[in-house]
Structure 1
Protein backbone atom coordinates (compact mmCIF):
# COMPACT_ATOMS: atom_id res chain seq x y z
CA UNK A 1 0.00 0.00 0.00
CA UNK A 2 1.36 3.40 -0.95
CA UNK A 3 1.81 5.85 1.92
CA UNK A 4 -0.69 8.67 2.05
CA UNK A 5 0.47 12.17 1.37
CA UNK A 6 0.22 14.74 4.16
CA UNK A 7 -2.66 16.51 2.37
CA UNK A 8 -4.60 13.23 2.07
CA UNK A 9 -4.09 12.50 5.76
CA UNK A 10 -5.22 15.96 6.82
CA UNK A 11 -8.44 15.61 4.84
CA UNK A 12 -9.41 12.32 6.46
CA UNK A 13 -12.40 12.19 8.78
CA UNK A 14 -14.24 9.62 10.82
CA UNK A 15 -17.33 8.58 8.82
CA UNK A 16 -20.39 10.32 10.19
CA UNK A 17 -24.12 9.90 9.72
CA UNK A 18 -26.09 12.80 8.28
CA UNK A 19 -29.62 12.60 9.68
CA UNK A 20 -31.16 14.22 6.62
CA UNK A 21 -32.18 13.44 3.05
CA UNK A 22 -31.58 17.04 1.90
CA UNK A 23 -29.73 17.15 -1.42
CA UNK A 24 -28.22 20.55 -0.59
CA UNK A 25 -26.83 19.35 2.76
CA UNK A 26 -25.36 16.28 1.12
CA UNK A 27 -23.81 18.49 -1.58
CA UNK A 28 -22.21 20.72 1.07
CA UNK A 29 -20.59 17.77 2.84
CA UNK A 30 -19.51 16.27 -0.49
CA UNK A 31 -17.84 19.53 -1.51
CA UNK A 32 -16.11 19.79 1.88
CA UNK A 33 -14.72 16.27 1.49
CA UNK A 34 -16.59 14.84 4.49
CA UNK A 35 -17.24 11.09 4.48
CA UNK A 36 -20.79 10.37 5.58
CA UNK A 37 -23.84 8.17 5.21
CA UNK A 38 -27.21 9.89 4.79
CA UNK A 39 -29.98 8.33 6.90
CA UNK A 40 -33.13 10.50 7.11
CA UNK A 41 -34.64 10.88 10.56
CA UNK A 42 -38.15 9.45 10.93
CA UNK A 43 -39.64 12.03 13.29
CA UNK A 44 -42.72 14.22 13.32
CA UNK A 45 -40.99 17.57 12.85
CA UNK A 46 -44.17 19.53 13.36
CA UNK A 47 -44.81 17.77 16.68
CA UNK A 48 -41.29 18.69 17.81
CA UNK A 49 -41.87 22.26 16.66
CA UNK A 50 -45.19 22.40 18.53
CA UNK A 51 -43.36 21.55 21.74
CA UNK A 52 -41.40 24.78 21.23
CA UNK A 53 -44.48 26.94 20.61
CA UNK A 54 -43.78 30.41 21.93
CA UNK A 55 -40.04 29.83 21.74
CA UNK A 56 -37.62 31.74 19.60
CA UNK A 57 -36.98 30.43 16.09
CA UNK A 58 -33.31 29.80 16.85
CA UNK A 59 -34.27 27.45 19.69
CA UNK A 60 -36.84 25.72 17.49
CA UNK A 61 -34.49 25.04 14.58
CA UNK A 62 -31.72 23.86 16.90
CA UNK A 63 -34.20 21.66 18.78
CA UNK A 64 -35.45 19.96 15.63
CA UNK A 65 -31.86 19.43 14.46
CA UNK A 66 -31.06 17.74 17.77
CA UNK A 67 -34.21 15.60 17.62
CA UNK A 68 -33.24 14.36 14.16
CA UNK A 69 -29.72 13.42 15.24
CA UNK A 70 -30.90 11.69 18.43
CA UNK A 71 -33.58 9.72 16.57
CA UNK A 72 -31.10 8.37 14.03
CA UNK A 73 -28.49 7.65 16.72
CA UNK A 74 -30.98 5.35 18.52
CA UNK A 75 -31.36 3.01 15.56
CA UNK A 76 -27.96 3.45 13.94
CA UNK A 77 -25.20 3.47 16.55
CA UNK A 78 -22.29 5.53 15.28
CA UNK A 79 -19.73 7.78 16.93
CA UNK A 80 -20.96 10.90 15.14
CA UNK A 81 -24.48 11.79 13.98
CA UNK A 82 -25.19 15.21 12.47
CA UNK A 83 -28.72 16.64 12.40
CA UNK A 84 -29.80 19.81 10.62
CA UNK A 85 -32.99 21.71 9.92
CA UNK A 86 -34.25 24.94 8.33
CA UNK A 87 -37.08 27.28 9.22
CA UNK A 88 -38.53 30.24 7.34
CA UNK A 89 -40.21 33.20 9.04
CA UNK A 90 -41.91 36.08 7.23
CA UNK A 91 -43.76 38.83 9.10
CA UNK A 92 -43.63 36.74 12.27
CA UNK A 93 -45.27 33.72 10.59
CA UNK A 94 -43.45 30.39 10.30
CA UNK A 95 -43.62 28.51 7.03
CA UNK A 96 -43.23 24.80 6.37
CA UNK A 97 -42.52 23.11 3.05
CA UNK A 98 -45.41 23.71 0.62
CA UNK A 99 -47.93 20.87 0.49
CA UNK A 100 -48.83 21.50 -3.17
CA UNK A 101 -48.06 23.79 -6.08
CA UNK A 102 -51.05 25.94 -5.12
CA UNK A 103 -49.70 26.13 -1.57
CA UNK A 104 -46.30 27.17 -2.95
CA UNK A 105 -47.93 29.97 -4.95
CA UNK A 106 -49.69 31.21 -1.82
CA UNK A 107 -46.39 31.25 0.05
CA UNK A 108 -44.70 33.25 -2.68
CA UNK A 109 -47.53 35.76 -2.83
CA UNK A 110 -47.20 36.24 0.94
CA UNK A 111 -43.40 36.61 0.68
CA UNK A 112 -43.65 39.24 -2.07
CA UNK A 113 -42.08 42.57 -1.06
CA UNK A 114 -41.16 41.31 2.43
CA UNK A 115 -38.02 40.14 4.26
CA UNK A 116 -37.68 36.38 4.51
CA UNK A 117 -35.74 35.18 7.55
CA UNK A 118 -34.17 31.77 7.00
CA UNK A 119 -32.93 29.98 10.12
CA UNK A 120 -30.64 26.96 9.81
CA UNK A 121 -29.65 24.77 12.74
CA UNK A 122 -27.28 21.88 13.34
CA UNK A 123 -26.64 19.43 16.15
CA UNK A 124 -23.98 16.81 16.79
CA UNK A 125 -24.59 13.59 18.73
CA UNK A 126 -21.58 11.64 20.00
CA UNK A 127 -22.08 8.06 21.16
CA UNK A 128 -25.80 8.66 21.56
CA UNK A 129 -25.51 11.90 23.55
CA UNK A 130 -26.22 15.42 22.34
CA UNK A 131 -22.91 17.27 22.60
CA UNK A 132 -23.27 20.39 20.45
CA UNK A 133 -25.86 22.49 18.66
CA UNK A 134 -25.93 25.82 16.86
CA UNK A 135 -28.00 28.03 14.61
CA UNK A 136 -27.62 30.87 12.16
CA UNK A 137 -29.98 33.19 10.31
CA UNK A 138 -29.92 34.81 6.86
CA UNK A 139 -32.22 37.63 5.78
CA UNK A 140 -33.39 37.77 2.17
CA UNK A 141 -35.34 40.71 0.78
CA UNK A 142 -37.98 39.39 -1.62
CA UNK A 143 -38.76 41.68 -4.52
CA UNK A 144 -42.34 42.41 -5.61
CA UNK A 145 -43.50 39.26 -7.38
CA UNK A 146 -46.26 39.39 -9.97
CA UNK A 147 -48.74 36.54 -10.35
CA UNK A 148 -47.40 36.00 -13.87
CA UNK A 149 -43.85 35.63 -12.56
CA UNK A 150 -44.96 33.24 -9.80
CA UNK A 151 -46.82 31.06 -12.32
CA UNK A 152 -43.87 30.91 -14.70
CA UNK A 153 -41.41 30.34 -11.85
CA UNK A 154 -43.37 27.38 -10.49
CA UNK A 155 -43.90 26.01 -13.99
CA UNK A 156 -40.12 25.72 -14.23
CA UNK A 157 -39.19 24.91 -10.62
CA UNK A 158 -42.03 22.70 -9.37
CA UNK A 159 -41.74 20.02 -7.98
CA UNK A 160 -38.00 20.56 -7.40
CA UNK A 161 -38.77 23.24 -4.77
CA UNK A 162 -41.46 21.18 -3.03
CA UNK A 163 -38.94 20.13 -0.39
CA UNK A 164 -37.71 23.70 0.24
CA UNK A 165 -39.19 25.68 3.12
CA UNK A 166 -38.71 28.96 1.26
CA UNK A 167 -39.93 27.56 -2.09
CA UNK A 168 -36.60 28.31 -3.75
CA UNK A 169 -33.21 26.90 -4.65
CA UNK A 170 -30.71 29.71 -4.28
CA UNK A 171 -28.33 27.93 -6.66
CA UNK A 172 -31.00 28.01 -9.38
CA UNK A 173 -33.86 30.25 -10.49
CA UNK A 174 -34.62 31.02 -6.85
CA UNK A 175 -32.01 33.78 -6.92
CA UNK A 176 -34.47 35.79 -9.04
CA UNK A 177 -36.87 36.09 -6.09
CA UNK A 178 -34.60 38.47 -4.21
CA UNK A 179 -33.31 42.04 -4.28
CA UNK A 180 -30.78 41.73 -1.46
CA UNK A 181 -29.35 38.95 0.68
CA UNK A 182 -27.63 39.30 4.06
CA UNK A 183 -26.15 36.10 5.47
CA UNK A 184 -24.07 33.02 4.83
CA UNK A 185 -24.58 31.19 1.56
CA UNK A 186 -24.33 27.89 3.46
CA UNK A 187 -27.06 28.93 5.89
CA UNK A 188 -29.30 29.73 2.93
CA UNK A 189 -28.57 26.27 1.53
CA UNK A 190 -29.83 24.78 4.80
CA UNK A 191 -26.92 24.23 7.18
CA UNK A 192 -24.38 26.51 8.95
CA UNK A 193 -21.51 24.56 7.41
CA UNK A 194 -18.57 26.58 8.77
CA UNK A 195 -19.75 26.05 12.35
CA UNK A 196 -20.42 22.37 11.66
CA UNK A 197 -16.88 21.88 10.34
CA UNK A 198 -15.51 23.67 13.41
CA UNK A 199 -17.46 21.34 15.71
CA UNK A 200 -16.38 18.22 13.81
CA UNK A 201 -12.75 19.31 14.22
CA UNK A 202 -13.21 20.07 17.93
CA UNK A 203 -14.64 16.62 18.61
CA UNK A 204 -12.04 14.84 16.50
CA UNK A 205 -14.31 13.74 13.67
CA UNK A 206 -12.22 15.73 11.19
CA UNK A 207 -8.45 15.77 11.41
CA UNK A 208 -6.23 18.77 10.87
Structure 2
Protein backbone atom coordinates (compact mmCIF):
# COMPACT_ATOMS: atom_id res chain seq x y z
CA UNK A 1 0.00 0.00 0.00
CA UNK A 2 1.26 3.44 -0.87
CA UNK A 3 1.82 5.79 2.05
CA UNK A 4 -0.83 8.42 2.63
CA UNK A 5 0.35 11.97 3.31
CA UNK A 6 -1.85 14.69 4.79
CA UNK A 7 -0.66 17.99 3.29
CA UNK A 8 -1.99 19.97 6.25
CA UNK A 9 -0.74 20.91 9.69
CA UNK A 10 -4.30 21.31 10.96
CA UNK A 11 -4.80 19.30 14.15
CA UNK A 12 -8.51 19.03 13.30
CA UNK A 13 -7.82 17.46 9.90
CA UNK A 14 -5.23 15.15 11.47
CA UNK A 15 -7.76 14.00 14.05
CA UNK A 16 -10.47 13.43 11.44
CA UNK A 17 -8.20 11.46 9.10
CA UNK A 18 -7.24 9.30 12.10
CA UNK A 19 -10.88 8.14 12.25
CA UNK A 20 -10.25 6.07 9.12
CA UNK A 21 -7.82 3.85 11.03
CA UNK A 22 -5.28 3.88 8.20
CA UNK A 23 -1.66 4.89 8.63
CA UNK A 24 -0.72 8.34 7.35
CA UNK A 25 1.95 10.94 7.81
CA UNK A 26 1.66 14.70 8.02
CA UNK A 27 3.70 16.93 5.75
CA UNK A 28 2.19 20.41 5.80
CA UNK A 29 2.24 22.27 2.52
CA UNK A 30 4.16 25.52 2.46
CA UNK A 31 2.74 26.67 -0.86
CA UNK A 32 1.83 30.33 -1.23
CA UNK A 33 -1.91 30.13 -1.83
CA UNK A 34 -2.92 31.76 -5.11
CA UNK A 35 -6.57 32.16 -5.89
CA UNK A 36 -8.76 34.08 -8.31
CA UNK A 37 -11.03 36.12 -6.02
CA UNK A 38 -13.74 36.14 -8.72
CA UNK A 39 -14.02 32.34 -8.69
CA UNK A 40 -16.90 30.48 -7.12
CA UNK A 41 -16.26 29.31 -3.53
CA UNK A 42 -16.25 25.65 -4.54
CA UNK A 43 -13.64 26.35 -7.22
CA UNK A 44 -11.53 28.31 -4.73
CA UNK A 45 -11.39 25.51 -2.14
CA UNK A 46 -10.73 22.81 -4.72
CA UNK A 47 -7.97 24.90 -6.32
CA UNK A 48 -6.31 25.60 -2.98
CA UNK A 49 -6.59 21.95 -1.92
CA UNK A 50 -4.98 20.89 -5.20
CA UNK A 51 -2.18 23.46 -4.84
CA UNK A 52 -1.40 22.09 -1.37
CA UNK A 53 -1.52 18.46 -2.49
CA UNK A 54 0.71 19.08 -5.52
CA UNK A 55 3.18 21.05 -3.39
CA UNK A 56 3.74 18.05 -1.12
CA UNK A 57 3.39 15.41 -3.86
CA UNK A 58 6.39 16.87 -5.73
CA UNK A 59 8.62 15.42 -3.02
CA UNK A 60 6.57 12.27 -2.35
CA UNK A 61 6.49 10.50 -5.71
CA UNK A 62 5.19 7.16 -4.46
CA UNK A 63 2.57 8.48 -2.05
CA UNK A 64 -1.08 9.41 -2.06
CA UNK A 65 -1.29 13.03 -0.93
CA UNK A 66 -4.41 14.63 0.48
CA UNK A 67 -4.82 18.42 0.56
CA UNK A 68 -7.80 20.37 1.89
CA UNK A 69 -9.04 23.92 2.29
CA UNK A 70 -12.09 25.46 3.96
CA UNK A 71 -13.81 28.82 3.49
CA UNK A 72 -16.87 30.46 4.97
CA UNK A 73 -19.19 32.39 2.66
CA UNK A 74 -21.89 34.90 3.51
CA UNK A 75 -23.67 37.25 1.13
CA UNK A 76 -21.49 35.85 -1.64
CA UNK A 77 -18.30 36.98 0.11
CA UNK A 78 -15.57 34.50 1.03
CA UNK A 79 -14.39 34.94 4.61
CA UNK A 80 -10.98 33.60 5.46
CA UNK A 81 -9.17 33.59 8.76
CA UNK A 82 -9.42 36.88 10.65
CA UNK A 83 -6.53 39.31 10.44
CA UNK A 84 -6.93 40.50 14.04
CA UNK A 85 -9.35 40.73 16.98
CA UNK A 86 -11.42 43.52 15.38
CA UNK A 87 -11.78 41.53 12.16
CA UNK A 88 -12.89 38.43 14.10
CA UNK A 89 -15.47 40.47 16.06
CA UNK A 90 -16.84 42.04 12.86
CA UNK A 91 -17.14 38.60 11.25
CA UNK A 92 -18.99 37.17 14.25
CA UNK A 93 -21.38 40.14 14.22
CA UNK A 94 -22.00 39.52 10.54
CA UNK A 95 -22.74 35.82 11.11
CA UNK A 96 -24.97 36.49 14.13
CA UNK A 97 -28.52 35.21 13.66
CA UNK A 98 -27.87 34.28 10.04
CA UNK A 99 -27.16 31.30 7.83
CA UNK A 100 -23.85 31.07 6.00
CA UNK A 101 -22.16 28.43 3.87
CA UNK A 102 -19.01 26.48 4.60
CA UNK A 103 -17.14 24.98 1.65
CA UNK A 104 -14.38 22.42 2.13
CA UNK A 105 -12.42 21.33 -0.90
CA UNK A 106 -10.30 18.20 -1.01
CA UNK A 107 -7.68 17.04 -3.49
CA UNK A 108 -6.19 13.56 -3.52
CA UNK A 109 -3.23 13.03 -5.83
CA UNK A 110 -0.86 10.22 -6.68
CA UNK A 111 1.52 9.69 -9.57
CA UNK A 112 -1.24 7.84 -11.45
CA UNK A 113 -4.27 10.03 -10.85
CA UNK A 114 -5.84 12.96 -9.07
CA UNK A 115 -9.31 13.85 -7.90
CA UNK A 116 -10.87 16.95 -6.38
CA UNK A 117 -14.23 17.48 -4.78
CA UNK A 118 -15.97 19.75 -2.31
CA UNK A 119 -18.73 19.67 0.27
CA UNK A 120 -21.07 22.58 1.01
CA UNK A 121 -22.76 22.88 4.40
CA UNK A 122 -25.16 25.54 5.67
CA UNK A 123 -24.56 26.76 9.22
CA UNK A 124 -27.00 28.96 11.13
CA UNK A 125 -25.85 30.98 14.13
CA UNK A 126 -27.87 32.07 17.13
CA UNK A 127 -28.23 35.81 17.63
CA UNK A 128 -25.03 36.84 19.39
CA UNK A 129 -24.77 39.61 21.96
CA UNK A 130 -21.65 41.73 22.30
CA UNK A 131 -20.99 39.79 25.51
CA UNK A 132 -21.19 36.50 23.58
CA UNK A 133 -18.71 37.80 21.03
CA UNK A 134 -16.31 39.19 23.62
CA UNK A 135 -16.39 35.96 25.64
CA UNK A 136 -15.70 33.89 22.54
CA UNK A 137 -12.85 36.14 21.44
CA UNK A 138 -11.27 35.75 24.87
CA UNK A 139 -10.97 31.99 24.27
CA UNK A 140 -8.48 32.72 21.46
CA UNK A 141 -10.21 30.13 19.32
CA UNK A 142 -11.42 32.35 16.44
CA UNK A 143 -8.02 33.54 15.28
CA UNK A 144 -6.86 30.62 13.15
CA UNK A 145 -10.19 29.59 11.69
CA UNK A 146 -12.07 30.52 8.54
CA UNK A 147 -15.12 32.56 9.51
CA UNK A 148 -13.64 33.27 12.96
CA UNK A 149 -15.15 30.23 14.69
CA UNK A 150 -14.51 26.57 15.30
CA UNK A 151 -17.62 24.37 15.41
CA UNK A 152 -15.69 21.58 17.14
CA UNK A 153 -14.55 23.80 20.00
CA UNK A 154 -16.17 26.53 22.06
CA UNK A 155 -17.70 27.90 18.85
CA UNK A 156 -20.22 25.06 19.02
CA UNK A 157 -22.35 27.17 21.36
CA UNK A 158 -22.76 29.78 18.60
CA UNK A 159 -24.35 27.32 16.18
CA UNK A 160 -28.13 26.92 16.11
CA UNK A 161 -28.23 24.30 13.32
CA UNK A 162 -26.40 22.88 10.35
CA UNK A 163 -27.58 21.34 7.08
CA UNK A 164 -24.93 19.15 5.50
CA UNK A 165 -21.73 17.46 6.55
CA UNK A 166 -20.63 18.44 10.07
CA UNK A 167 -17.11 17.11 9.49
CA UNK A 168 -16.75 19.34 6.45
CA UNK A 169 -17.32 22.33 8.73
CA UNK A 170 -14.63 20.97 11.06
CA UNK A 171 -12.30 20.83 8.06
CA UNK A 172 -12.45 17.45 6.33
CA UNK A 173 -15.55 15.64 4.96
CA UNK A 174 -14.25 12.33 6.22
CA UNK A 175 -16.99 10.02 4.85
CA UNK A 176 -16.44 11.32 1.32
CA UNK A 177 -12.65 11.20 1.79
CA UNK A 178 -12.90 7.52 2.80
CA UNK A 179 -14.85 6.68 -0.35
CA UNK A 180 -12.51 8.61 -2.61
CA UNK A 181 -9.40 7.03 -1.05
CA UNK A 182 -10.80 3.56 -1.80
CA UNK A 183 -10.52 4.41 -5.51
CA UNK A 184 -6.80 4.95 -5.14
CA UNK A 185 -6.20 1.45 -3.80
CA UNK A 186 -7.92 -0.44 -6.65
Q: Provide the TM-score with structure 1 as the length reference.
A: 0.83
> In the TM superposition, what whole-angstrom CA distance separates every residue of 1:40-97 from its partner, at most 9, and x where no partner exists?
111222xx223xx322111111111111000111133332111111011011111111
**1:108-123 counterparts in 2 under 5 A?**
108-123=92-107
**1:168 and 2:149 matched:** yes
Secondary structure at the counterpart of residue 81 of structure 1: strand
Dislocated runs of 4+, deviation >4 Å: none
Residue 15 of structure 1, CA deviation:
2.3
**1:148 and 2:131 matched:** yes
Total equivalences in the alignment = 186
Residue 178 of structure 1, CA deviation:
1.8
Corresponding residue for 2:77?
93
Greater shift in the superposed pair: 61-70 or 13-22: 13-22
**1:60 and 2:56 matched:** no
CA distance in 1, matches of 2:176, 2:19: 15
CA distance in 1, matches of 2:146, 2:29: 17
- Alignment root-mean-square deviation, CA: 1.6
**Which ranges of structure 1 fall in alignment gaps of 5 or more residues?**
1-12
Residue 130 of structure 1, CA deviation:
5.3
Residue 27 of structure 1, CA deviation:
0.2
**Which ranges of structure 2 fall in alignment gaps of 5 or more residues?**
none
> In the TM superposition, what whole-angstrom CA distance separates every residue of 1:105-158 from its partner, at most 9, and x where no partner exists?
11111111221210001011112x651110001101112111111001111x20
